[in-house]
Structure 1
Amino acid sequence: MRNGSVQRLGRIVTVLVVDALLLLLLAAILPGFSADSFWAALGLAVLLGLANALVWPLLIRVALPFTVATLGLGALALNGLVLLAIAGVDRGVHVRGFWSAVVVVLALTALSSASSALLALDSGDLWYRTVVRRQLRRTRLAVESDVPGILFLEIDGLAHEVLQRALRDGNAPALARWVRDGSHRLERWETDWSSQTGACQAGILHGDNHDMPAFRWWEKDRGKAIVTNHPRDAEELERRRSDGRGLLHADGASRANILSGDAPHSMLTMSTVLDRRRQGRLGQDYFAYFASPYGVALTFLRCLGEIVVERFAAIEQRRRDVRPRIHRGGSYPLVRAFATVIQLDLQVAAVTADVLAGRPVVYTTFLAYDEVAHHSGVERPDTLAVLRRVDRAIARIAAAVEHAPRPYELVVLADHGQSQGATFLQRYDESLEQLVRRLVGDGDAIVAETAASDEGRGQLTAGLAELGTRPTVTGRAAKAIADRRDEIEAGEQPALPAAELPEIAVMASGNLGLISFPREPGRVTLEQLERTRPGLLDGLRSHPGIGFVLVRSEADGAVALGGRGRHLLDRGVVEGEDPLAPFGTRAADHVRRTDRFPRCPDVVVNSAYWTDVDEVAAFEELVGSHGGLGGAQALPFVLHPVGLPWPEEEVVGSGTVHRIFCGWLHRLGHDGYDPFAGLVAGPADGALASGDGAPHGQGKPAASGGAAPE
């Protein structure tokens, strides 16, 4: 005890001296701030320390709702006012006005953080003090339980093979330690054709991703497009498949997901952000984050740092002529900073609160890696740096478990991977939309939605929408911004009258293209297209950047057309060269299943897959993409405790993953989950079942570097 007290006293003295030296440095370089001597700077450091220890807790108790409502800017202003007040007491220091005080706070925060990291003065104690200890006080009435809970921590877009290399190369050290210690095992599973977050999470969280062909698609029965990460569309998608017994229905928490899994507690979840009645809205589980007097200033500086890193990485790619690459300007640096700093912090704080409250099951999606991989590349240096940051975030959550009122099992997973490659537009100087316009010769009658599937921007919109449900001035302003974004997003538009429907709708989800004819009732067939638009299918199937085209024939049923052959899916007959051959042994089953969806587009286009370089051609302007067949995008992972069983056979489809997870919860003693869910029995032929019960064919997915379904 005595040694601990001496160590704490020594650290306090060291921090004060370092802060005094830093204040002297700032006095020499910052206009509007000066210190007469070292002792004056030391006095200011002491007074700031006392204010943080004694005054700030009282001040923040009153001002916390204001700081949360202003997303922390209020806390930054309070920091400046506190410094001004202290400068009025310490006559040896001089601060010229409010803005000078704010600049001093930001600069001192940056230098203090750097010096603490360099001298190892903090070692995670700040995190414990500002988040864990405060949440422990808030949740001291949590009921203890011997029934273990499960934390499902999803790293969006991280493929199994990429994680394997990251474990080997030190880019996921915390996860590598779990594997090497023998507590966890890494497994691979295979997605359905639509290898994107909406369909995959529908399967994982609700056990059903039926009739979700892509990230965005046209729905003839509704007369409009649907886009998965638009709040109203996500709400509709969950309504269609929720039975009230999703993966998180038993007092679970959903944090930063597309769908909620029927969780009673939900925050930054697309399908629930507009629901004012739910528990856990933005601002209720994030209070601890604003409890630190320098927390917001540090976040602001980290966001600036992330923007600088992004600009440097983009410039470096151009300087070295790294390919493939895309233009990364506009608002993307701000979106990246939000995804990799603000949202990451928010998720860790929220999940930590869930752990300390003893919630039985929690699911959160870390978007940061996926967002950067889309724009930088799957394993580029700045992408792997973000993966290391996510790894540290998971380690922080794991460290909070020891303070929880119940034991927890930690499961880390991905909903899909990503495949890399130059985009379709870069390769052929025309987009899919432009190709369709050229082939049909009717460009004025086409509506296109081929912009990049920016999930980070979608999450930012979700945050604004969620903040907009709060009855505050800031909430009303956020709602106005979110409503304005709704107006300009196609997926949020009202249904169009029949007379205003476009002739053709062209949409994209990664390297998956979707072509619909909104004015034509029902599914337009191959024979109809050959009569009315005779050049379209031949032009698509023969294009070097297109692997195959799915269309329904009146005579032959589902048909996959390639440049040198076709695959009659319903009959299992291949004429000429099989266009599905490069995409793995289960490709035909995946394509056949999608063809049976009631809302399957009239024509589905999958880009080519070049096995020699392991590349696809996205129909969106993204370096790393997902959504169709080809490469690692369909081969994500589950890193699970060794005590939770994983099937010996190949796991195919996110609905199968849902049943495994439900089986784990039942095995751990949670009521309300199917006792037979973990027994992943397939149809009589031994094939695994997909999210809607339709059988998948047998056979293993292609190995790393080879063709793979989805």
Structure 2
Amino acid sequence: MVPAGGGRLLRGGRVVARVVLVWVLAVGALNLLDTWLTGFSMPEWWQPTVCALLFGVLSAVVWPLVLRVALPVAVFTLGIGSFLLLGAGVLAISFAVPGVVVTDLGTAVVVAVAVAALGSLVSSVVGLDEDELFFRRAARRGARSGTSGDETMPPGVLLLQVDGLGIDTLRRAVRTGDMPAVARMLDDGSHGLAAWHTDWSSQTGASVCGILHGDNDDIIGFRWYEKDRDHMMVCSSPEDAAEIERRHSDGCGLLAVDGAARASLFTGDAAHTSLTMSALPLISGAGRRGRGRDGVGAGYYTYFANPANALRSGVGALVDVGREISAAVRQRRAGVRPRVSRGGFYPLARAATTVIARDVVVSAVIEDMMAGRAVVYADFMGYDEVGHHSGVERFDTLAVLRGIDRQIGRLHRATQLAPRRYHIVALSDHGQTQGWAFADRFGESVEALVGRLCGEPQPDPRRGAHSESSSTAESWQVDAVLAEASSVGGPIARRLRDRVERAGGADRPRTPSGAPGAVARVAPGVVVVASGHLAMVSFTEHEGRVELETIEREYPELLPSLVDHPGVGFVLVRSAEFGPVVLGRDGLRRLATDVVIGDDPLVPYGPHAADLVRRVDAFPHCADVMINSRYDPVRDEASPFEPHVGSHGGLGGSQSRGFLLYPTDFPPPHEIVGAEALHGVLRGWLRHLGHPEPQRAVRGSPV
């Protein structure tokens, strides 16, 4: 066994060896560049040695100081700007060393990139993990300041969210070797695996708000319409995300006690946040209740302070752009169905999510561990993003999943080096269900369908208000589908039409604009919102919830045509006579009494469907008509109302089945239904570890 003092000497020797090796290789690289690179000249033998030393000082000392001022340049150029700045530094070195010639900034950037690449290469060759060096520096700094890890502190927890990864896909990925780090955690018995069932709205907004704040009441979808304000709420809007958190936070969120939120929609009342949507409106102002906000700098600064990191992520991003273009071409050539358009800016946006954001989030988490923070919640978004465009388990989607798995493994190793003991809990906010997009399959979007049934033919039926039209997929003829539905129809459609004929009544006059008109109408007085596998219809000229009987009178073809449509699984409406009613093609279910007439339309959606739908019906902003896409259990497919391949947001299939990977030292969870229940499990684990309870504030007040 090596004594502690000997261990420090050994580690110090490895660091010195690394510095010397980088210096020697940098000298050799500068000599090669002198030979090969036009516009770069070092005629004297001593010049490469001196320049390599000065570049090392620039990278290790001067560059981090410069980055504190120039961080926005690195942030908004995804790291490319950092090399422009380093190139300027190389130019400065050439002016300082007599006889060295660097003709322009482009040449200087090439030199900077080459030398930075050596730093990354040497770290791999000598087997030194940058995280190890990171934590050593933290331990030394903590020892000097008296803030090093306290053995009496309860263990910290890393909550790592793999956005959109359902438990079925995770199990297959573990079996096929696409997630070896997770497989090792399961195989060695350190972790167990459990499933959890999402709410009806199986999307990040409802799930993360429920997980972090213990409350996701009245979050209808990723986007939804609020009739009383004539406003479209969108979870990815900073202002709307802040408003959602204001409504649901009581100051007692999961991260309220010394927590951090990284790349999340909501803060969980954390004192430290970065890349978190609900906190963005606060970055330029004072934090809530005196709490600081790390803003965009957390993770970014630590990551880009090392030029080799920027190079590694830049190369990784370029590789991912190439992988995306190649995958899209292969899909088109092979005639793969379903698929969606993947051109334009998407390859760059994908790389920013799957590589740049992932690496920065990991850097921020390591920084949180170095600081000894109690609970850290981080979201890896890459799998969900690529799954939407490529498919749930296609080869390039699984490549992204392998990259996330490597980062989970890296953080798992880092827990052994942190000044405080940490446990890792991995989870997903929902899964994904694959299918052919509604507009591509049926020739018109759900917005166009509802608009036409409400008397307003759409000029571009394939384009929805919140989607893009796809020119790559063939579609069925709309007229044939609707003609069949109208002429034959299911028993529920016939029953609805009979009710309309018996009731009679004239149409109610409507203003063409559907005033005040802040949100686009698909027909006068009709707003339709699509959110994955869920669509919501609101009639703006009526206050409050519009009842089934009124809808039948004013739009007699709407409900019969919807329940008979082959892309619609079920429809929720409120009846003056029976209360909430779920309508399907071959049957209905009255939720107030659970009376079923014909076939229960909720059976294909699982044993929890009735309770989840009943809960949403009670939400203040529940739409007048709620539409869930049709799920085919034989093929495990459903057609989303947005232009996605893999999608989520409603009920049906894997989208509702998230996963929870947890240490076996923790009390095992029982059946988990809903994000609020998952919050309770996580809260119980923190309590089990000895974490203090946060002080509760008044719900809905500023926190």
TM-score normalised to structure 2 length: 0.82
Report the alpha carbon displacement of residue 188 of structure 1 after superposing the two structures with TM: 0.7
Report the alpha carbon displacement of residue 564 of structure 1 after superposing the two structures with TM: 1.8
Q: Is 2:206 aligned against 1:202?
A: no
Change (3 A) 1:317 1:31: farther
Change (3 A) 1:18 1:385: farther
Kept in 2: contact 1:339–1:368 (CA 8 A): yes
Kept in 1: contact 2:415–2:423 (CA 8 A): no
Match of 1:658 in 2: 679
Change (3 A) 1:338 1:409: same
CA deviation vs aligned residue, 1:50-83 (integer Å, no higher than 9, x gap): 2344343331353122231212455323321333
Give me the whole-angstrom Cα distance separating, in 1, the residues matched to 2:21 and 2:59: 22
CA deviation vs aligned residue, 1:621-657 (integer Å, no higher than 9, x gap): 1111010011111111110000111234x21111111
Give me the whole-angstrom Cα distance separating, in 2, the residues matched to 1:18 and 1:26: 12
Kept in 2: contact 1:174–1:392 (CA 8 A): yes
Whichever residue aligns with residue 286 of structure 2, its letter is: R
Kept in 2: contact 1:67–1:74 (CA 8 A): no
Kept in 1: contact 2:55–2:90 (CA 8 A): no
Q: Is 2:561 aligned against 1:539?
A: yes
Whichever residue aligns with residue 527 of structure 1, its letter is: E
After TM superposition, the structure 1 stretch with the greater mean CA deviation from structure 2, 253-262 or 317-326, is 317-326
- Unaligned ranges ≥5, structure 1: 454-495, 675-710
Give me the whole-angstrom Cα distance separating, in 2, the residues matched to 1:92 and 1:451: 59
Kept in 2: contact 1:134–1:288 (CA 8 A): no
Q: Is 2:178 aligned against 1:171?
A: yes
Kept in 2: contact 1:11–1:121 (CA 8 A): no
After TM superposition, the structure 1 stretch with the greater mean CA deviation from structure 2, 289-298 or 252-261, is 289-298
Structure 1 residue aligned with 2:306, among 289, 292, 298? 292
CA deviation vs aligned residue, 1:457-514 (integer Å, no higher than 9, x gap): xxxxxxxxxxxxxxxxxxxxxxxxxxxxxxxxxxxxxxx9636664111111111111
User: Aligned with 1:594: secondary structure?
Assistant: helix
Match of 1:498 in 2: 516
Whichever residue aligns with residue 674 of structure 2, its letter is: G
Report the alpha carbon displacement of residue 144 of structure 1 after superposing the two structures with TM: 2.8
Give me the whole-angstrom Cα distance separating, in 1, the residues matched to 2:204 and 2:280: 17
Give me the whole-angstrom Cα distance separating, in 2, the residues matched to 1:153 and 1:243: 23
Match of 2:417 in 1: 403
Change (3 A) 1:348 1:122: farther
User: Aligned with 1:161: secondary structure?
Assistant: helix
CA RMSD of aligned residues (A): 3.0
Match of 1:62 in 2: 65
Q: Is 2:551 aligned against 1:548?
A: no
TM-score normalised to structure 1 length: 0.81
Match of 2:647 in 1: 625
Report the alpha carbon displacement of residue 367 of structure 1 after superposing the two structures with TM: 0.9
Whichever residue aligns with residue 680 of structure 2, its letter is: R
Report the alpha carbon displacement of residue 400 of structure 1 after superposing the two structures with TM: 2.8
Change (3 A) 1:262 1:436: same
Give me the whole-angstrom Cα distance separating, in 2, the residues matched to 1:133 and 1:98: 36
Calculate percent identity across the aligned residue pairs: 45
Match of 1:306 in 2: 320
CA deviation vs aligned residue, 1:9-67 (integer Å, no higher than 9, x gap): 7766765666566666666765434677xx96x963x4454234434333135312223
User: Aligned with 1:271: secondary structure?
Assistant: helix
Structure 1 residue aligned with 2:611, among 589, 604, 607? 589
Report the alpha carbon displacement of residue 452 of structure 1 after superposing the two structures with TM: 7.2
Structure 2 residue aligned with 1:214, among 221, 224, 244? 221
User: Aligned with 2:269: secondary structure?
Assistant: coil
Give me the whole-angstrom Cα distance separating, in 1, the residues matched to 2:335 and 2:32: 40
Kept in 1: contact 2:317–2:355 (CA 8 A): yes
Q: How many residues align?
A: 624
Q: Is 2:396 aligned against 1:382?
A: yes
Change (3 A) 1:343 1:439: same
Change (3 A) 1:4 1:629: closer
Kept in 1: contact 2:223–2:234 (CA 8 A): yes
Change (3 A) 1:389 1:330: same
Whichever residue aligns with residue 554 of structure 2, its letter is: T
Kept in 1: contact 2:142–2:148 (CA 8 A): no
User: Aligned with 1:178: secondary structure?
Assistant: helix
Give me the whole-angstrom Cα distance separating, in 2, the residues matched to 1:353 and 1:444: 52
Kept in 2: contact 1:67–1:290 (CA 8 A): no
After TM superposition, the structure 1 stretch with the greater mean CA deviation from structure 2, 318-327 or 245-254, is 318-327
Match of 1:469 in 2: none
User: Aligned with 2:125: secondary structure?
Assistant: coil
User: Aligned with 1:506: secondary structure?
Assistant: strand
Give me the whole-angstrom Cα distance separating, in 2, the residues matched to 1:8 and 1:238: 46
Kept in 2: contact 1:191–1:634 (CA 8 A): yes
Kept in 2: contact 1:448–1:506 (CA 8 A): no
Structure 1 residue aligned with 2:366, among 321, 342, 352? 352
Match of 1:144 in 2: 149
Change (3 A) 1:9 1:656: closer
User: Aligned with 2:528: secondary structure?
Assistant: strand
Q: Is 2:125 aligned against 1:121?
A: yes
Kept in 2: contact 1:450–1:619 (CA 8 A): no
Match of 1:521 in 2: 543
Greater Cα radius of gyration, structure 1 or 2: 2
1:68-467 aligned within 5 A? 68-70=71-73, 71=75, 72-73=79-80, 75-87=82-94, 94-106=101-113, 109=116, 113=120, 120-129=124-133, 131-133=134-136, 135-136=138-139, 141=145, 142=147, 144-145=149-150, 146=152, 147-275=154-282, 276-278=285-287, 279=292, 280-443=294-457, 449-451=465-467
CA deviation vs aligned residue, 1:562-620 (integer Å, no higher than 9, x gap): 11221222221111222222111221221111111111011111111112221110110
Give me the whole-angstrom Cα distance separating, in 2, the residues matched to 1:546 and 1:274: 38
Give me the whole-angstrom Cα distance separating, in 2, the residues matched to 1:391 and 1:520: 50
Kept in 2: contact 1:204–1:657 (CA 8 A): yes
